[in-house]
């Protein structure tokens, strides 16, 4: 890699979600086939911002939102320490493979540690289309552990 390409590489900033990110986050979620509206996202983000057990981190590159991780602290009856759950992780499709997801997860790890967690976890579906995401998580050190059961109410 030449010095010129290093100097012109776009800087990636991992920061806390701000209300100015609403439109970008809504677009990102729609790109990833999550049907939503700005008003729904606004309400969810406002509710989470009032709760210290939630954190939403943004990946910003050249002033543009390219990814997001949503986290929450969880108390478990089987573990005495707090644990941190990744509830969502999104990276825009044209920016995948650049280390953005890894940096967002690292930001989540730091936030979890700062809030007393010693474990970071997530749940995922078992659809074939999620195989690349599962491979990503295993690549960055997560271990597959157990099953998820759901029941509609």
Residue 148 lies in a domain: no
**What stretch of H or E contains 91?**
strand 82-91
What's the domain range around 95?
3-139
Residue 102 lies in a domain: yes
Residue 86 lies in a domain: yes
* CATH code at position 135: 3.40.630.30
Residue 90 lies in a domain: yes
Residue 153 lies in a domain: no
Nearest to 57 by CA among 66, 36, 135: 66
Q: What is the pLDDT of residue 2?
A: 47
Residue 149 lies in a domain: no
In this prediction the pTM is 0.83
Q: Total structural domains in the chain?
A: 1
Residue 6 predicted with pLDDT over 80: no
Residue 144 lies in a domain: no
Calpha distance 27→97 (Å, rounded): 20
Query: How does pLDDT run across 8-24, given as a tens digit for each residue?
Result: 556 899 999 999 999 99
22-31 vs 38-49: helix crossing angle, rounded to 10: 120
Nearest to 47 by CA among 107, 87, 104, 80: 87
| Average pLDDT for the chain | 86
Residue 152 lies in a domain: no
């Amino acid at each position: 890699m030449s010095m010129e390409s290093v100097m012109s590489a776009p800087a990636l900033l991992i920061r806390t979600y701000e209300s100015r990110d609403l439109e970008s986050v809504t677009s990102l979620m729609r790109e990833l086939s999550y049907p939503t509206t700005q008003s729904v996202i606004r309400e969810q983000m406002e509710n989470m911002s009032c709760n210290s057990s939630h954190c939403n981190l943004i990946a910003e590159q050249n002033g543009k939102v390219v990814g997001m991780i949503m986290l929450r602290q969880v108390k478990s009856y089987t573990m005495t320490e707090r644990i941190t759950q990744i509830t969502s992780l999104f990276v825009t499709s044209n920016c995948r493979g650049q280390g953005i997801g890894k940096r967002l997860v690292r930001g989540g790890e730091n936030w979890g540690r700062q809030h007393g967690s010693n474990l970071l976890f997530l749940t995922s579906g078992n659809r074939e289309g999620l195989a690349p995401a599962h491979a990503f998580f295993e690549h960055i050190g997560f271990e597959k552990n157990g099953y998820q059961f759901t029941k509609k109410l």
